Structures are given as structure tokens and as C-alpha cells.
A and B are shown apart, each in its own frame.
Chain A
């Protein structure tokens, strides 16, 4: 191949590459294109519901597999004064509020939550960033709690309001952490409100006093510092309307992959 031709090919390749990069960046900024990409979330969720039994369990491990270096992400110590006051007295004054579309709103102390039917499971926690750790969790079955409160027929989602403000700079009041799941995951046998981790009281960095475990989804769904559980018919009016702190910021609401 002549040098002239090689130079020409190189220039053409570089030009195409630059065009490609600029095009992809432009599309990434376009709300219309992002809307198109987002339909994949529905395909994934539909496919998962199709191939997975709704009660299929996430894999559980033996105690020898528990990670000694389980990483804590997001908030590791909430700075909200209300939370710090509760922490100072070891959550003696903590109340878990259950309200929204329920027949019987509840306000439970930690002792009452611990008295609910419980489950212990050793599961793998998969962060959206790509890392995994295995931990042992003990907590109240969410299904038992929801049965106690009694869901109204129009309830479709369970929302978890948390004590931590992960984005203090959000000017629209949507800086607080929250998450939500549908009723299939809410009634899944492994969905628990964990108060123990690795045979000890749940540490603050992992979400004390209560942390949602919703195995079969990525880490950010596992809301820490849960203060209030709300049954709703629609997620539109909560936060920025996407069903969670991270979903409000471009991540999928259904985090099955």
C-alpha cells in the first residue's frame, strides 16, 4: 500500500472516529434518545418476570463465604439532626411509620419490628458499580409487616423513605434518599427489613436501624436508614417521580441487571 493511501485511510479513520464520538455524546444529551434507550428497562423487567418464578430465591451461601470487607456505599453516616438524636440514644425513640394506602397505619418501635416474623439469609450484594460482597442479614419479613397494616386494593408500590439526605444541594427538595418496589418484590420471601448484619446489630454505615434487603435487584434498591414505609398507587408525586433517589438521576427503577 502506498504511503499516500495509508495516510488517506488514517485520516478517514480518525475523521469517522471523531464523528462517531461527537454523535454518541450528542445523543447521550438528548432527552428524546434517552427516552428511546429507556424502553429496554421494560423489556428486561418483562423478560425477568417471564423466566423467573415470582418467588424464585436469590442464591444463598454458607457462612464461610461471608465477606470480611463488605463495602458501604452512598451515605455512611447520616448528618440529619433527627437521625443523630435517635442514634445518640441507640434508637430507643425510633418509630417505623407504615402509612399511605393501608387499612391500619402503624408506628412501630424497633422491639416491635424485631418481634415480627423474621428471616435470616446469606446473600450476595451486587452494586451497580460492578463489585459484589456477601453478607448475612436478619430482618422482619416485609410481607408480614404489610399484612399487619393491610394494603388497600389500589396500592401498587411500596415506598421506603430514608433518614439520609444524599444530595444536600438538590434545590427541589428531592435530595433525600428513597426507594420503591412493586408488590411482587414486596411480598418476595427474601424481602426483609434487616436489623442484624453478620450476627451483630446492623452498623450505621450499613443502614442502622433498618435496611431494606430486596435480593434479585442491585444494591441501590436496598434502602438504608428506613424511617417510613408508604403504600402508593403511583410514584409520580414522590421525589422527581421516577421511584427512587437514583432512578430520579437516570438509573433504572427496575434494577434487575
Chain B
């Protein structure tokens, strides 16, 4: 037994471990690059998609447009001698002046489904919207294929995104749901991995919503319809596929909104750093909640 050993033994055992900040490697280079590109691509696709939607701001179920009875439509209507934006969903009517149907600066309003700030370009131009949309659709698919093949081949999909067995216990899920509702995020060692709700959200976007966008988008193509008519049939017809294209875009927009809110609430700079440099700070030795 030497002096150091004696010294070590003299440290009181009851002293609490002090949390210290450790930077852990969270995101690989492929994730960071494809995520960064996807931020641009998805925003362009959503906004140019709304430009295209505005060319006929109504949606239908089935193979064709039943012009008298869209399930949703955004129109301009004259009420008295005043123009209003009216959105109908089934038999419900909403006055959405300024947002849907009739929008723009006071005095310079115009009939359009979604307002100028939501579309690329901001003015009404279906041809330009289509150019943006179809070009970025190709980039989005290429980027998605790079990400998916890399994440599958490297085993990261399983390691990082599939919920582990302990995370799927009902008691664990219930606690996570409660923590989310109170905006309490995992700390300490728990923060090393994604929580189960987070994993399920990412997985459903990566494996369900984004592929659904591509498949329903392909159904918009009369050329591709001739190659694979069964795909359009699968969605219940061309106009149904257009509806699903719109709805899944809406769900992606919702995901992005919640995702960004969670990024801000759980530590904006730490999250941003992890998506830029790959390093994420956790408080090692901090007791998990």
C-alpha cells in the first residue's frame, strides 16, 4: 500500500458525484449533411407544393374531380359587396379572409388558396412552382436514398432509431408521455440516446410519411400511371392520391413545427451544435430523472 492509496482512502465516500459536461458524438457526417440538405429541400417542396395547390385549391376523393363537391376548397366569395375568403370542409364553412381563399395586403388582396408568404414564388405562377417542385423532388429522393441506405447498412437505424425493449414498456412510455407534456427532457445518461416517443416520431416520418409523399407524388404523373396503374388504384384513384399527397405534406409540416419547438425547448444551442459538429453535451454523473 503506497501513499496515494492512503490518500485515496481518506476521501470521504459520501461526497456526491459532481455532474460534469461531456461532449458525446451524436450525429455522423452523413446524418448531418443529409439532414441539412433536407431542411432546404422539404421547405422548398412544401412551399412550391402550395403554389401548385393554389392552381386548383380544392381536393376530392376518388379518381376524378367532382367539381360540385370537393371535400375541401378555398374560394373567394362576395358577401354583400365585400370579398371574403371562404374555406369549406365538407358542409362546414369558415371565413378565412387574409389566410385562405382571399389574402394579401389590405387593398391589394387577391384570390388564392394559400397566402403569398407560404408559396414559392410568392406571386401566382404555377409553371415556376412546378419547376421548383419537380427539380427539388429529384434532389429530395436522391438525398433520402443516400440517408436510408447509409443508415440501414451501418446499422444505425436499428441502433439509434428502433426503440429498445425497455423503452417500449407501457410504464416507461407513460412516463415519457408525461415528461413530454411537462417539457421535461432526459438528463444525464438517459440523454445519450433518443427517447422512445422521439424514435417513433422520427421512424414514422422517415419510413412512412416521406415515402408516402414520393408515392402519392408519382401518382400525379400520367406518364408514371401508365407504368404502374396499380399504385394510383392503391390510393383509391388519382384525386384521392392528390388528397393524400396534401394530407401527408400537412403532417410533415406539423412534424417540423413540433420538432423545431422541441429542439428549442430541449436546448437550442446544444441541438444545433450536434447537427453541425456532431457533438452533443450531456451532464455525465447527473442522476436521471
Which A positions have Cβ atoms within 8 angstroms of B? 1, 9, 17, 20-21, 24-25, 28-29, 34, 36-41, 43-44, 48, 51-53, 56-59, 61, 65, 67, 69, 71, 124, 126-134, 215-218, 246, 249-252, 256-257
CB pair A51 B127 closer than 8 Å = no
CB pair B223 A217 closer than 8 Å = yes
Which among A1, A20, A71, A217 is the interface contact of B222 at CB below 8 angstroms? Answer: A217
Which among A9, A40, A249 is the interface contact of B127 at CB below 8 angstroms? Answer: A249
Q: Is residue B244 within 8 Å, beta carbon to beta carbon, of the partner chain?
A: no
A65 CA to B239 CA, complexed, in Å: 14
CB pair B128 A250 closer than 8 Å = yes
CB pair B67 A132 closer than 8 Å = no
A21 and B122 in contact (CB under 8 A), knowing A124-B238, A127-B56?
yes
A6 to chain B, nearest CB (A): 9
Chain A residues positioned under 8 Å from B44 (CB to CB): 24
By size class, the interface of chain B is 35 or more
- Most chain B C-beta atoms within 10 Å of own C-beta, residue among A17, A43, A130, A134: A130
Q: Is residue B191 within 8 Å, beta carbon to beta carbon, of the partner chain?
A: no
CB pair A126 B128 closer than 8 Å = no
Q: Is residue B224 within 8 Å, beta carbon to beta carbon, of the partner chain?
A: yes
A24 CA to B103 CA, complexed, in Å: 20
Closest 10 pairs (CB-CB, A-B): A256-B223, A250-B127, A257-B221, A28-B121, A40-B135, A130-B56, A131-B65, A52-B227, A129-B55, A37-B131
Which B positions have Cβ atoms within 8 angstroms of A? 43-44, 47, 52-53, 55-56, 58, 60, 63-68, 117, 120-123, 125-128, 130-132, 134-135, 137-138, 220-229, 232, 238-239, 242, 264-265, 268
Which among A38, A48, A132 is the interface contact of B227 at CB below 8 angstroms? Answer: A48
B270 to chain A, nearest CB (A): 14
Which among B121, B225, B264 is the interface contact of A25 at CB below 8 angstroms? Answer: B121
Q: List 28 A-B contacts (CB under 8 A).
A: A17-B117, A20-B43, A24-B122, A36-B135, A39-B135, A40-B131, A44-B138, A44-B221, A56-B226, A58-B226, A59-B229, A59-B232, A67-B64, A67-B65, A69-B68, A71-B65, A71-B67, A127-B56, A129-B126, A130-B52, A132-B64, A132-B238, A217-B222, A250-B125, A252-B130, A252-B134, A256-B223, A257-B134
Residue of B nearest to A69 (CB): B67
Chain A residues positioned under 8 Å from B67 (CB to CB): 69, 71, 131
Which among A25, A48, A133 is the interface contact of B64 at CB below 8 angstroms? Answer: A133
CB pair B131 A131 closer than 8 Å = no
CB pair A24 B121 closer than 8 Å = yes
A252 CA to B134 CA, complexed, in Å: 11
A184 to chain B, nearest CB (A): 11
B172 to chain A, nearest CB (A): 28
Residue of A nearest to B68 (CB): A69
CB pair B224 A28 closer than 8 Å = no
CB pair A51 B227 closer than 8 Å = yes
CB pair A256 B221 closer than 8 Å = yes
Additional A-B contacts beyond A71-B67, A250-B127 (18; CB < 8 A)? A9-B268, A20-B43, A24-B122, A25-B120, A25-B121, A28-B120, A29-B121, A34-B131, A37-B132, A40-B134, A58-B222, A65-B63, A131-B65, A131-B67, A132-B63, A217-B223, A251-B127, A256-B223
Residue of B nearest to A219 (CB): B222
Chain A residues positioned under 8 Å from B122 (CB to CB): 21, 24-25
Chain B residues positioned under 8 Å from A71 (CB to CB): 65, 67
A67 CA to B130 CA, complexed, in Å: 27
CB pair B64 A124 closer than 8 Å = yes
CB pair A38 B131 closer than 8 Å = yes
B43 to chain A, nearest CB (A): 7
Which among A17, A69, A130 is the interface contact of B66 at CB below 8 angstroms? Answer: A69
Chain A residues positioned under 8 Å from B220 (CB to CB): 126, 257
Residue of A nearest to B48 (CB): A24
A52 CA to B132 CA, complexed, in Å: 24
A252 CA to B126 CA, complexed, in Å: 11
A215 and B222 in contact (CB under 8 A), knowing A71-B67, A132-B239?
yes
Which among A17, A130, A216 is the interface contact of B242 at CB below 8 angstroms? Answer: A130
A28 CA to B44 CA, complexed, in Å: 12
A257 and B63 in contact (CB under 8 A), knowing A39-B135, A127-B56, A131-B56?
no
A216 CA to B53 CA, complexed, in Å: 21
CB pair A44 B121 closer than 8 Å = no
Residue of B nearest to A249 (CB): B127
Chain B residues positioned under 8 Å from A65 (CB to CB): 63-64
A194 CA to B45 CA, complexed, in Å: 37
B35 to chain A, nearest CB (A): 17
Residue of A nearest to B59 (CB): A130
B37 to chain A, nearest CB (A): 15
Residue of A nearest to B123 (CB): A25
Chain B residues positioned under 8 Å from A36 (CB to CB): 135
Chain B residues positioned under 8 Å from A131 (CB to CB): 56, 58, 60, 64-65, 67, 239
